[in-house]
Amino acid sequence: MAEHTSAQGSAPLTAAPPAESAQSAAPGEFDAGARERARAALERARERTLALTDCLDEDGLTAQHSPLMSPLVWDLAHIGNQEDIWLLREAGGGPGLRPALDPVYDAFRTPRADRPTLPMLPPDEARAFVAEVRAGALEVLERAPAGGSPLLAGGFVFGMVAQHEQQHDETMLATHQLRRGPAVLTGEEPPRPDPADVAALPREVLVPGGVFTMGTSTDPWALDNERPAHPVDVPAFWLDTVPVTNGAYQEFIDDGGYRDPRWWSPEGWEYARRVGLEAPLFWKREGGIHGGGGTWTRRRFGHTEPVPAGEPVVHVCWYEADAYARWAGRRLPTEAEWEKAARHDPATGASLRHPWGERDPEPRHANLGQRSLRPAPAGAYPEGAAPCGARQLLGDVWEWTASEFTGYPGFTAFPYREYSEVFLGDGYKVLRGGSFGTDAVACRGTFRNWDHAVRRQIFAGFRTARTATEGEGDLC
Ligand SMILES: [Fe+2]
């Protein structure tokens, strides 16, 4: 999330937000069901955090594997520090466990590249710290009042902390991908779609024109930037049924796409020339001659393997996605188009929580939660399809959109400005849908991610769109 996975630690907005926003920020009682949901989300996050950190020795945890990323042990204790701030102090009303650590783990204070210089807790101390904070947080969860505070309503602050930890788990997974050395992580193979079913899929699906409801005012754990729900008129458009695949992307490469300024925005072309872009990050051409031929391999969590043609492309920056779309005679979808494709049900006019409906994501719906350490082949997860017929909108790869990150009409920062507000209107590109590295708790039809246009280490791909010609949108 740009820097927001690491951007907490600043002053909370202690006053309750305005009445309407308080309603929309976190509706609902903090009842037994919400408490259980919060506990399960916190425990699942911690299980993943430990899996990502227990697999490396002290050197592997304290080393900086890329200047783009923090040492893993910084992420680990930062997770505990945020939980200390938000659950022990803000929700629990106590003094916190180790407030003196706040400056060390304040992401705004020290950029990632400089974090190795911080007086970080060594791995054993960091593990003990996060465990002790968690024990206290679970006590707060038990005794927190059932209502009265916007922070506690619906268990919002616990959901926020669980999402924060899962976002860092995805960041740490990206660090693992950048790390050199033998493989230490394992995952299951994603489901292989039925070839006949995939062959029968249309290349693109039509999303009818008209108003739909974007964002949410009711999802108790939705974050401030997803709020409030508001109507948006989206003209009819066509969207790729599945994300752009490695095979399709290779055609762009083979056609000289990286060497032809016609396909690139001026900024993208300048950037691509300056840093020498010629393929997705982690790809390498084996054999062939300069500029063509040979076969592509990729490095993935310590393994080198042929690039699988049928999987969604991943590790491309926004400029590459934008150039591919222009080469293909298409464009990136806007954020509103993406959300309408993912949520709008023409049969009822309602906006769904997820493409398949209201149910929480299950393994049959989407490739989420680091079960697999790769995207599933394009066309997988028919049970997760949206009403428009598009597949894999959630999970597999984050999808770059054409839009920049802005606040929705009526946006109110909650519970602190640095979560989203300070990033609004600053040129960040919006990504949607989550990746195989994203947990279900941090992935829903309204969830918004944002990052710099040049970012490639995140698990980002894309799909393309085109505006429907007159009359097409009326067919549905
Ligand atoms: Fe963070």
Between vectors from CA 328 to CA 324 and to CA 329, what angle results, nearest 5°? Answer: 120
Choosing from 154, 178, 202, the residue where a domain stops is 178
pLDDT for res 431: 98
Enumerate the β-bridge partners of residue 238.
206, 466
We report the CATH number of the domain holding residue 304 as 3.90.1580.10
pLDDT for res 13: 53
Q: Do 81 and 168 share a domain, yes or no? A: yes
Ligand 1 centroid distance, CA of 200 (Å): 43
pLDDT for res 299: 97
Residue 12 lies in a domain: no
DSSP string, 164-225: HHHHHHHHHHHHHHH--SS-----PPPPPPPHHHHHTS-SEEEE--EEEEES-SS-TT--GG
Q: Do 154 and 246 share a domain, yes or no? A: no
Torsion angle defined by CA atoms of residues 394, 400, 405 and 411, in that order, rounded to the nearest 10 degrees: -20
Residue 9 lies in a domain: no
Ligand 1 centroid distance, CA of 169 (Å): 10
Residue 2 lies in a domain: no
Hey, what are 322's tokens?
A: 């934008």
Structural domain count of the chain: 2
Q: Do 278 and 388 share a domain, yes or no? A: yes
Ligand 1 centroid distance, CA of 9 (Å): 8
Domain residue limits at 99: 19-178
Residue 11 lies in a domain: no
**Binding-site positions for gamma-L-glutamyl-L-cysteine:** 112-115, 451, 455
Q: Do 374 and 423 share a domain, yes or no? A: yes
Residue 3 lies in a domain: no
- Closest-CA residue to 416 (of 36, 106, 103, 45): 106
Residue 276 lies in a domain: yes
Structure-token match 């976190």, residue found: 26
Q: Do 269 and 372 share a domain, yes or no? A: yes
Q: Do 329 and 430 share a domain, yes or no? A: yes
Give the integer Cα–Cα distance in Å for 328 and 203: 13
pLDDT in tens, 328-379: 999 999 999 999 999 999 999 999 999 999 999 999 999 999 999 999 999 9
pLDDT for res 25: 39
Enumerate the β-bridge partners of residue 274.
none
Hey, what are 425's tokens?
A: 């209107």
**Binding-site positions for Fe cation:** 78, 164, 168
Q: Do 131 and 207 share a domain, yes or no? A: no
pTM, entire model? 0.93
Q: Do 127 and 213 share a domain, yes or no? A: no
159 CB-near residues (< 8 Å, 6+ apart): 37, 38, 41, 220, 221, 441
Residue 14 lies in a domain: no
Ligand 1 centroid distance, CA of 3 (Å): 8
pLDDT for res 308: 98
- Closest-CA residue to 177 (of 279, 283, 79): 283
Q: Do 209 and 82 share a domain, yes or no? A: no
Q: Do 155 and 246 share a domain, yes or no? A: no
Structure-token match 């996060």, residue found: 130
Q: Are strands 237-240 and 230-234 parallel, antiparallel or unpaired?
A: unpaired
Q: Do 222 and 123 share a domain, yes or no? A: no
Choosing from 138, 159, 178, the residue where a domain stops is 178
Angle between helix axes 156-178 and 32-53 (nearest 10 degrees) is: 20
Ligand 1 centroid distance, CA of 182 (Å): 28
Give the integer Cα–Cα distance in Å for 137 and 142: 9
Q: Do 466 and 442 share a domain, yes or no? A: yes
Between vectors from CA 150 to CA 144 and to CA 156, what angle results, nearest 5°? Answer: 70
We report the CATH number of the domain holding residue 88 as 1.20.120.450
Choosing from 119, 146, 178, the residue where a domain stops is 178
Q: In which residue ranges of the chain is pLDDT below 50?
A: 2-11, 14-26, 475-476
Residue 427 lies in a domain: yes
